[in-house]
């Protein structure tokens, strides 16, 4: 049994405090949905969990089975069993997905002998042409292909806890179903006898959750969890929208300079 424990996590980016004390725990086999308005800090949370440069932790703790994740570089967090599917997957020209997976397996002490059949099987399951895995990481892939690609990587890497940041964005209905089903299955059965996957699923919409069934739903706004409930909360949010929660966002300070990028603006008033 694995446990990701986030306790009172606070973080800033570009000098601005974004996370204001996030507390939640994800265990093996659990699916937690994090839903909330745009700009509330959901992607910041996922980036901070994975240790993306530029995000500064200003308080709180994150542990994975007791290991202090915040003290580790990103690759060691991955080896400890954490996986992040980014909202906007990073393009890495010149590096093929297969090479990345192969290196990751070696680094984790796993055999690469099965890599080809594992990749081919997973690609087929979620309807991704395996030839795309020979391309450079996320380069020249459609939005849907990127998300399927992330899911193949997840299934091959076999993490213990996955953070999925808007895995549903840019997916058509068929791709959404395939990807959600694959992850739902991992949260039920695990991978090859491992404990079932725990998932922190950041999403705007309910539609992902019709295949990937959340045990717990968190409303996330203004940089923290504002309310926690069961699956019915996702339905309620779909009906009520995020207006109530969006108001919680701190009022933006008036910009010192106009935000419009106006080449004719010479410092006076617009």
Using CB under 5 A, which of 10, 28, 40, 43 touches Mg ion?
Answer: 43
* 33 contacts 203 by C-beta, under 8 angstroms: yes
Overall size of the chain counted in residues: 270
177 touches ligand ADP by CB under 6 A = no
13 touches ligand ADP by CB under 6 A = yes
Q: Which is nearer to ligand ADP, 99 or 244 (CB)?
A: 244
Q: Which stretch binds ligand ADP (CB under 6 A): 10-18, 91-99, 103-111, 176-184?
A: 10-18
Closest separation in Å from C-beta 54 to ligand ADP: 5
Task: DSSP for 78-132, please give it.
Answer: HHHTEEEE-SSPPPEEEEEHHHHHHHHHHHTT--STTHHHHHHHHHHHTT--GGG
Q: Return d(Cα 132, Cα 134) in angstroms, integer.
A: 5
Q: Return d(Cα 161, Cα 200) in angstroms, integer.
A: 8
Binding mask 25-64 for ligand ADP (x = CB under 6 A): -------------xxxxxxx---------x----------
Q: Which stretch binds Mg ion (CB under 5 A): 55-63, 86-94, 98-106, 229-237?
A: 86-94
Closest separation in Å from C-beta 18 to ligand ADP: 5
Q: Which stretch binds Mg ion (CB under 5 A): 34-42, 117-125, 135-143, 144-152?
A: 34-42
Q: Return d(Cα 182, Cα 193) in angstroms, integer.
A: 16
14 touches ligand ADP by CB under 6 A = yes
Q: How far is CA 157 from CA 166, 170, 228, 258, in A?
A: 20, 23, 30, 46
Query: Which residue's CB atom is positioned nearest to Mg ion?
Result: 43
28 touches Mg ion by CB under 5 A = no
Residue that has been written with the tokens 């796993």 in this structure = 110
Closest separation in Å from C-beta 42 to ligand ADP: 3
Q: Which is nearer to ligand ADP, 87 or 194 (CB)?
A: 87
Burial-class residue 184 by CB neighbours within 10 Å (0-12, 13-18, 19+): middle
Closest separation in Å from C-beta 130 to Mg ion: 29
47 touches Mg ion by CB under 5 A = no
Kindly report the number of other CB atoms within 10 A of residue 228's CB atom. 14
* 270 contacts 255 by C-beta, under 8 angstroms: no
- Residues in contact with ligand ADP by the rule CB under 6 A: 13-14, 18, 38-44, 54
């Amino acid at each position: 049994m694995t446990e990701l424990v986030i306790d009172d996590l606070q973080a800033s980016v570009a000098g601005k405090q974004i996370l204001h004390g996030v507390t939640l725990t994800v265990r093996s086999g659990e699916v937690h949905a994090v839903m909330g308005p745009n700009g509330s800090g959901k992607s910041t949370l996922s980036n901070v969990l994975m240790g993306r440069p530029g995000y500064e932790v200003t308080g709180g703790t994150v542990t994975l089975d007791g290991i202090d994740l915040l003290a580790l570089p990103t690759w060691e967090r991955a080896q400890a069993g954490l996986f992040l599917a980014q909202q906007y997957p990073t393009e890495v020209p010149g590096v093929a997905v297969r090479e990345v997976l192969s290196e990751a397996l070696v680094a984790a002490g796993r055999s690469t002998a099965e890599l080809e059949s594992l990749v081919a099987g997973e690609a087929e399951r979620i309807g991704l042409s395996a030839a795309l895995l020979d391309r450079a990481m996320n380069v020249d892939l459609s939005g849907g292909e990127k998300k399927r690609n992330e899911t193949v990587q997840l299934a091959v890497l076999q993490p213990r806890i996955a953070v999925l940041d808007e895995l549903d964005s840019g997916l058509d209905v068929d791709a959404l179903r395939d990807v959600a089903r694959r992850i739902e299955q991992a949260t039920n059965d695990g991978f090859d006898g491992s404990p079932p996957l725990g998932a922190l699923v950041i999403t705007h919409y309910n539609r992902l959750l019709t295949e990937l069934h959340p045990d717990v739903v968190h409303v996330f706004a203004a940089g923290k969890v504002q309310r926690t409930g069961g699956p019915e909360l996702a339905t309620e949010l779909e009906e009520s929208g995020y207006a109530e929660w969006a108001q919680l966002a701190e009022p933006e300070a008036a910009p010192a300079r106009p935000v419009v990028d106006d080449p004719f603006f010479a410092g006076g008033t617009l």
